[in-house]
């Protein structure tokens, strides 16, 4: 394997490490900040198990939390006002 290939692999593993660390911190912050069931347990699980715990938290809790959040914040449609009966000119 050439030096260029080794440097590329080092760069790829470094980038994966940085991204997984950022994801781990994001999941810890989400678990600590939002009102979820068993907040303390989830924060401990994420901190002690690292990226594996963060991935489990993401698929078990965060995706469900985000889907509930988007369905609750959808604006309710209001009936359109009928301007054809307006006689003020």
Residue 53 domain flag: yes
Residue 63 domain flag: yes
Residue 17 domain flag: no
Q: pLDDT (tens digit, 9 = 90+) per residue, 10-53?
A: 999 999 999 999 999 999 999 999 988 899 999 999 999 999 99
- How far apart CA 11 and CA 33 sit, in angstroms, is 33
Nearest to 43 by CA among 29, 61, 59: 29
Q: Which residue segment(s) compose the domain that 48 sits in?
A: 35-71
Chain CA centroid to CA 42, Å = 15
The residue written with tokens 């002690």 in the block is 48
| Model confidence at 81: pLDDT above 60 | no
Domain count along the chain: 1
Q: Using an 8 Å Cβ cutoff, are 31 and 57 in contact?
A: yes
Residue 60 domain flag: yes
Cα–Cα–Cα angle for 73, 42, 38, rounded to 5 degrees = 70
Q: When comparing pLDDT for 29 and 74, which is higher?
A: 29
| Model confidence at 72: pLDDT above 80 | no
């Amino acid at each position: 394997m050439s030096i260029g290939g080794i440097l590329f692999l080092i760069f790829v593993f470094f980038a994966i490490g940085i991204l997984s660390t950022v994801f781990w911190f994001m999941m810890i912050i989400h678990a600590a900040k939002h009102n979820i069931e068993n907040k303390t347990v989830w924060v401990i699980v994420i901190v002690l198990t690292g990226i594996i715990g963060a991935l489990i938290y993401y698929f078990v809790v965060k995706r469900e939390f985000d889907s509930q959040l988007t369905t609750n914040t959808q604006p309710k449609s209001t009936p359109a006002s009928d301007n054809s009966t307006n006689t003020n000119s």
